[in-house]
Amino acid sequence: MKAHETLPLLPIDSGDGVWLKDFEGKRYLDGVSSWWVNLFGHNEPRIKAAITEQLNTLEHVMLAGFTHEPVVQLSEKLGALTGLGHCFYASDGASATEIALKMSFHYWRNIGQPQKNQFLSLQNSYHGETIGALSVTDVAIFKDTYAPLLRQSAQMQSPDARLAEADESAEAYANRCADFLEGFLKQHHTEIAAFIIEPLIQCAAGMGMYHPVYLKRAREVCTLYQVHLIADEIAVGFGRTGTMFACEQADIKPDFICLSKGITGGYLPLSVTLTSDEIYQAFYDDSVARGFLHSHSYTGNALACSAALATLAIFEQDDVLSKNQAKTAYINSKICTWHDLPIVNARNQGMIWAFDVQTKNQQFQQHFYQQALAEGLLLRPIGNTVYWMPPYVISQDEIDFMLKTTKQVVIACA
Ligand SMILES: *Cc1c(COP(=O)(O)O)cnc(C)c1O
């Protein structure tokens, strides 16, 4: 709050498409999709109409002992898309992580292996900031203060291609990291319930991208050593990496998938943890204690589910994934000419781009953010990593503006 005395909050009056507008009428291109949640722009008429229609029938009813049409339809659709047929709803990403962790442990307990009570994650991982989720998160600035409150978990070597040796390919490095995981599981698998991972991109770590072979190998060794694989697709799900879900690019099926952020197109808070028949069956019993006793008041909220259904419908109606391919190719063709900038590790996966700026400016992150805003572009570098994660509806002119402004601001701030 003290920092905001010199850097006042920016009050936003309205949004439309990729643009946010303040009360002076100044426009800002939302280059981070309002923290990775918005898919089809602000003020999207079809999502708005779906929520409004739902609002006229049923805003909310508790899911304990009750159900409603949007939640049934959404569960059927997500089950078909992921191949995991059972949905458990909450309202934010961190809760989806908590649910996966608790459910994984409870599964092992129900089948007579309660000693499997440890979790693994990757170095530099991010899975949310409630106490359980923070325990498997590995970002020092979020974690260190609360360390005494957290449960120990082990972090596996990150396959982020930037960490490879100079002469090592992303694939070779990912394989080396998978060897490490395999060795660890071989030794410790009897105590480990689950390995949680962000498929293809560690977004909060500064868009750390890695080769899909790591996911394939992780699936193989988790199966071999009877450890659940939890895919946290909260940031990368719903088309961000080029496929509907990132796991598709490694052709793997995890035991749990956590989804949130883009699920409602950025309109309302909703998250879901999906799992398999096999895990579901271990809870199916007359004994209440074997059931998964976890609840949130707004679980499966009808308005949020209707926004999610409208979002999924847009993917079909607008052929979003193939249209995005053209946008990806266009942006890539532009940035491959950025030779004169002090940047390294330019990388792309689907609708996410990032590069690392080489600068001696200790305040690069802050300077870049302020300068870009002054130019009408909302970007929030992570350290010296500048990234674009725009709404999918961004037009060619808007892309040109985003790129031109970014280039200008990099030069000014580096
Ligand atoms: C944002 C995010 C979360 C946490 O979601 P919240 O809704 O902010 O709690 C968890 N995992 C990943 C990969 C995320 O990007």
Q: Residue 121: what pLDDT?
A: 98
| CB environment 3-32: b (16+ within 10 A), e (fewer) | eeeeeeeeeeeebebbbbeeeeeeebbbbb
Please enumerate in sequence order all residues whose Cβ is within 8 A of that of 162, keeping only pairs 6 or more positions apart, or say none.
208, 345, 356
pLDDT, residue 333, reads 96
Tens digits of residue pLDDT in 12-31: 999 999 999 999 999 999 99
One-letter amino acid for residue 362 of the chain: Q
pTM across the whole model: 0.98
Strand partners, 185: none
Q: Is residue 43 part of a domain?
A: no
On whether both 257 and 335 belong to a single domain, the answer is no
pLDDT of residue 365 exceeding 90, the answer is: yes
Collapse the DSSP code of 113 into the 3-class scheme (helix H, G, I; strand E, B; otherwise coil) and give the result.
coil
> How many residues make up the chain in this entry?
414
Q: Is residue 24 part of a domain?
A: yes
- If asked whether residues 216 and 139 sit together in one domain, one would say yes
pLDDT at position 262, please?
A: 98
**Phi-psi group of 397: left, alpha or beta (phi > 0 → left; psi -120 to 50 → alpha; rest → beta):** alpha
Residue 140 pLDDT class (50, 70, 90 cuts):
very high
Does any domain span residue 342? yes
Stated as kind and residue range, the H or E segment containing 272 is strand 271-275
Please report the pLDDT score of residue 168 as a whole number: 98
**Of 279, 299, 317, which one is at a domain's C-terminal end?**
317
pLDDT band for position 156 (cuts 50, 70, 90): very high
Three-state DSSP class for residue 372: helix
386: closest CA among 361, 362, 410, 408? 410
22 located within any domain: yes
Burial 315-327 (b: 16+ CB within 10 A, else e): beeeebeeebeeb
pLDDT at 336 over 90: no
Instruction: Please tell me whether residues 78 and 163 are part of one structural domain.
Output: yes
Q: Name the CA radius of gyration of the chain, rounded.
A: 22
Residue 44's nearest CA partner among 379, 311, 398 is: 311
Question: Alpha-carbon distance 414 to 411, whole Å?
Answer: 6
Evaluate whether residue 297 is within a structural domain.
yes
Residue 132's closest CA among 117, 116, 111? 117
How close are the terminal C-alpha atoms of the chain, in Å?
Answer: 27
The one-letter amino acid code at 137 reads T
The amino acid at residue 46 is R
Mark whether 294 and 393 lie in a shared domain. no
| pLDDT tens digits for range 65-80 | 999 999 999 999 999 9
The domain boundary residue, chosen from 284, 317, 350: 317
Long-range contacts from 78-83, C-beta under 8 angstroms, 24+ separation: 78/259, 78/272, 78/274, 79/274, 81/244, 81/245, 81/312, 82/245, 82/257, 82/274, 83/253
Shared domain for 363 and 300, answered yes or no, is no
In a domain? residue 35: no
At position 307, the amino acid (one-letter code) is: A
227 domain-assigned: yes
Orientation of helix 213-224 relative to helix 170-188, angle to 10°: 10
Per-residue pLDDT, averaged over 273-295, amounts to 96
Region 293-312: what's the mean pLDDT? 97
- What is the C-alpha to C-alpha distance for residues 30 and 47, in angstroms, rounded to an integer? 18
Q: Residues 296, 346: one domain?
A: no
Residues 268, 385, single domain; the answer is no
- Bridging pattern class, strands 19-22 and 12-16: antiparallel
Give, using CA atoms, the residue closest to atom 6 of ligand 1: 93
Give yes or no: residues 9 and 83 share one domain.
no
Counting from 1 in the atom list of ligand 1, the atom nearest the Cα of 133 is 10
Q: What percent of the chain has pLDDT over 90?
A: 98
348: phi then psi, degrees, rounded to nearest 5? -150, 145
Amino acid at the residue 256: F
Domain co-membership, 346 together with 358:
yes
> What are the pLDDT digits (tens) for 211-223?
999 999 999 999 9
DSSP state, 43?
T
Question: Which of 98, 137, 260 to probe ligand 1 with, by most ligand atoms within 8 A of CB?
Answer: 260
| CATH (domain of 169) | 3.40.640.10
Cα–Cα distance measured from residue 71 to residue 74, given in angstroms and rounded to the nearest whole number: 5
Instruction: Please give the average per-residue pLDDT across 346-359, as a whole number.
Output: 98
What residues flank ligand 1, with Cβ below 6 Å? 92-94, 97, 126-128, 198, 203-204, 232, 234-235, 260-261
Query: Are 70 and 21 contained in the same domain?
Result: no
Mean pLDDT of 263-275: 98
The last residue of a domain, from among 317, 332, 350? 317
For residue 154, give the DSSP letter: E
Which ligand 1 atom sits closest to the C-alpha of 271?
7
pLDDT band at 339 (very low <50, low <70, confident <90, very high): confident
Question: Is 241 within a domain?
Answer: yes
Question: Which of 34, 126, 267 gets mutated to test ligand 1 (max ligand atoms within 8 A of its CB)?
Answer: 126
Q: In this predicted structure, what is the pLDDT of residue 12?
A: 98
- Read off the pLDDT band of 120 (50, 70, 90): very high
Domains held by the chain: number: 2
With contact defined as beta carbons under 8 Å apart, do 47 and 40 qualify? yes
Which of 121, 136, 234, 238 gets mutated to test ligand 1 (max ligand atoms within 8 A of its CB)?
Answer: 234
Q: What is the mean pLDDT of residues 382-411?
A: 98
User: Which domain does 94 fall in, by range?
Assistant: 48-317
Residue nearest to atom 5 of ligand 1 (CA): 93
CA distance 304 to 98: 20
89 pLDDT band, cuts 50/70/90, is: very high
pLDDT of residue 209: 98
User: What is the predicted pLDDT for the residue at 241?
Assistant: 98
**What would the pLDDT profile of 304-328 be if each residue is shown by its tens digit?**
999 999 999 999 999 999 999 999 9
CATH number for position 357? 3.90.1150.10
Q: Compute the mean pLDDT over every residue in the chain, rounded to the nearest whole number.
A: 97
In a shared domain, residues 293 and 384: no
Kindly state whether residues 7 and 133 are assigned to the same domain.
no
Confidence band (pLDDT; 50, 70, 90) for 162? very high
Average pLDDT over residues 343-352: 97
Partners of 19 in beta bridges: 16, 29
State which H helix or E strand residue 411 sits in.
helix 396-413
